[in-house]
Structure 1
Amino acid sequence: IVDNLYITKGQIFAEFVLEALIKKGVPRFVAYRDVQRVAFLANDKGMFYKDAIKNDKAFTSKLTEKEIDAIFSPEKHLGASPKIISNVNKSVQKAVKKFI
């Protein structure tokens, strides 16, 4: 699961970066513009989104390095994923048994 999160080089966390900026008092349209701008920049340069965020004053002036690291922590966002996967697996196994 964690590997899949990083296929996008961290861009999947953009929504959480936006939310963090808004909580810090940045107007939504400004936060959205900066999140999108740095996402495009990171993509164009082949960078990880987190590194691009850490190198941009629009983010580092509002978020500490610790806060940025927390945003990009997969464990914070996975929540119930293992339980959901386990339940799906059990359901599939149960359905397959009907055909065997």
Structure 2
Amino acid sequence: MTEFSPGAWVPPPGVLPGWDWLPPGHRLAAHLDRVPWWVRAWYRTPLLDRYAHVWMWHHGALEVLPSWEPPPDPTGDREPRRPVPPTGSGAGDVSGR
């Protein structure tokens, strides 16, 4: 039997796709308007909701989207807004006056 998924991803064996496995770097959006009433009831019932996610994965009711993580800061590391002055007894130390 061929298992369908929302993309070309193949979940590893022994996992529930859409519940405890997602494609790396992605998130899901559930479309409850695409499922029968009994799947919507499963989706809102504790302990049965995991099976609703799997059913929705295989029947096209889950949309796989890129993750929310923003891209890295292009400016790189920044100095703190209020830098801590260096301490020590160097030539610039005027605390002993």
* RCO higher in structure (CA 8 A, sep ≥6): 2
Shared fold (TM-score greater than 0.5)?
no
Q: Which structure has the larger Rg over C-alpha atoms?
A: 2
Q: When the two structures are superposed, what TM-score results if normalisation uses the length of structure 2?
A: 0.31
- TM-score normalised over the length of structure 1: 0.30
The structure with the greater share of residues assigned to helix is: 1
